[in-house]
Amino acid sequence: MGKVSAVSPLAPDHFPQLPVIEGVRFATIAAGVRYQGRTDVMLAVLAPGSTVAGAFTTSATRAAPVLDCQAKIGGVSEDGAAILVNSGNANAFTGKNGVAAVEAITAAVAEVCGISQSRVFTSSTGVIGEPLPHERVTAVLPQLQSKLDPEGISDAAKAIMTTDTFPKGAREEIEIDGKAVSIAGIAKGSGMIAPDMATMLVYIFTDAIVSQSALQKMLSRHTETTFNCITVDSDTSTSDSLILAATGASGVDASESDAFSDALYRVMLNLAHQVVQDGEGATKFVEIAVTGAATDEDAKIHGMAIANSPLIKTAIAGQDPNWGRVVMAIGKSGAAADRDRLSIRFGDIEVAKEGWRSPNYSEEAAAAHMKGQNIVIGVDLGIGEGKATVWTCDLTHGYIDINADYRS
């Protein structure tokens, strides 16, 4: 894999203490799928009755594990369930061999864990186009099963990493009708990050009772304004998988709870932000808030045009308040815009107003904002009520260093 020499400067100062989610147990192991000397396989086993929802990449070249998961989501939930993840090999663009690998792994997990194969979900992340040595995974399953631990989620976050520089976790604990409900999530992602999911694996667990249809509805809705609103490099992965599981162990039904839905959103947004903060080579976290667009959809199109512009991202890396490049990105996006109504801010500094450079523009003030780690670009189109917020990072030479020798 590409060289990752240091933890991202945008990383949180510590991994959160995630709550134990009753009804799910974790185990990790070093199977040697690609890496040596580190864990690279994670197993999570869910109690009978758990409901499972999912969101997956829209790539036309989806990997075999993604296709298998998509076929299984929404099935009956009386049985237990399991999630098996390997890092180092994406099992993507591997043809019938990839399908056979998924079949072998899911069958073996089902046998070892005593559950239906239709309730075994797998994910693979890493190099594309190389056959997955699935026998290395199936060989360690008995050991994994024997190590299952309700407190193993932090180790699971580490096992799914590839070029990530830090493990990612988020938590929420709320009360519904006076009873406690917990949510815990982990994620991996650093490069090949773009809307419609990215090179991300995300696993979120709750002890609430949530019907499968309600769980899927919440997940799909919140994905649109969290994981589908981030980008590192505009490249959409073959392997994105976001799986949400509700064990029901708390005895609290949250299927219609706005408080639960809001807490789930916060966990998803937290994890999405951490993925951007660990963008390959990133030194700055960038929020792009677009208002005044013709529609919300247009606002997002404009936001992503800005977020994915190499010219803007390199200017941010160089701490250059080159707002003319924002004008360029809006003009090329394809969404509705009127040059003479356009206004732009960097942080609190107005740099352009209604089609002109702001009369109060200060190069020094704008440059000072660009020196920070957290950059905010505000754009108002002035033509409607549409709005959207997206997040990205800068583009530095570190991105090249990591990806130029990714397979070595």
Read off φ and ψ for residue 31, nearest 5 degrees: -95, -10
CA distance 266 to 247: 19
Dihedral angle sign, alpha carbons of residues 205, 206, 207, 211: negative
CA distance 247 to 261: 16
Written as six digits, the tokens of 130 are 């190389």
- The position carrying tokens 């197993």 is 43
CA distance 363 to 54: 46
CA distance 42 to 32: 13
Query: Which residues in 15-31 are b (16+ Cβ under 10 Å) and which e?
Result: eeebbbbbbbbbbbbeb
The single-letter code of the amino acid at 95 is G
The helix or strand, by DSSP H or E, that contains position 250, with its residue range, turns out to be: none
CA distance 388 to 240: 23
CA distance 307 to 285: 11
With contact defined as beta carbons under 8 Å apart, do 320 and 370 qualify? yes
199 is known as an active-site residue: yes
Helices (H), 212-333: 212-224, 258-277, 296-307, 310-317, 324-332
CA distance 237 to 197: 7
Question: Whose CA is closest to 293, among 378, 392, 194?
Answer: 378
CA atoms within 13 A on the CB side of 144: 34
User: Which candidate in 94, 122, 199, 396 is catalytic?
Assistant: 199
Q: What residues are labeled active site? A: 199
